Amino acid sequence: MKVLAFSGRNVKEILRDPLSLLFCLAFPVLLLLLFQLIVSAIGEDALQHTPQFAIEPLSGSICVFSYSFSMLFLALLVAKDRSTAFLTRLRSSPMRTGTFLAGYALPMLPIMLTQTAVTYLLGICFGLRFSVGLLAGIAALIPSMLLFTAAGLLLGSLLPEKAVGGLSSVIINVAAILGGMFLPLETIGGGLLIAAKCFPFYHEIKLYTLALAGETEGLGLALGVIAAYLAATAAAALLSMRRRLGED
């Protein structure tokens, strides 16, 4: 009940900034429209050389990319609360640190789910067809939602409000490049591919594409890497917020 009550308060804070919320929801729509215009301009034959721009893999990549903006949104919310007297009130509250973090995280999950739904519903207009593989791919996006949520909590608990935007922008760009969302990393290969495999973003897209294709080989590795990053990020966020709250 405490988590739900605190989540309700955070929902109200989110609704006080409708432009940011609208951007989070409209961004995947604009991005999907942009790429469809590019595909129509270069011709569908070009998809043989750039398969990541086909509607099925592209929809998942756009979803993962849009989650990074939700991460920024969440980090700003947490950092803003830390910069006000609200943090003092939190210290005197009987709630534990984990409860606070869960209260911040819960409102973001419906936003990410809405981003996903909007992207795939629009994808239908561009020839996206639902299948068992597509449903498996959508389910494979859940670890990405959780990881970006944990990252938002960590950034918000570590950084001042003015610094959140800068570092979040770096993470967003790194995620786009090293995730292979819009670049054929497997084709490029070399040092870029090796570097990409050291970060979770590549494995997030890999997990989605493997689930989409119904392939099981490599699923465990991709999921394991994401789970490891998720555990480390969540633990770091918990320790950081615990220190901010002065909790033993």
Rounded to 5 degrees, φ, ψ at 122 are: -70, -35
With CA atoms as reference, report the closest residue to 217 among 232, 229, 207.
Answer: 207
pLDDT of 138-157, one tens digit each? 999 999 999 999 999 999 99
> 52 or 222: which carries more pLDDT confidence?
222
> 206 or 45: which carries more pLDDT confidence?
206
* Whole-number Å distance between alpha carbons of 80 and 203: 31
* Whole-number Å distance between alpha carbons of 232 and 143: 14
The fraction of the chain above a pLDDT of 70, given in percent, is 91
Highest mean pLDDT among 3-7, 95-99, 101-105: 101-105
Contact between 64 and 201 (Cβ < 8 Å): yes
pLDDT of 55-65, one tens digit each? 888 899 999 99
Q: pLDDT class for 190, splitting at 50, 70, 90?
A: confident
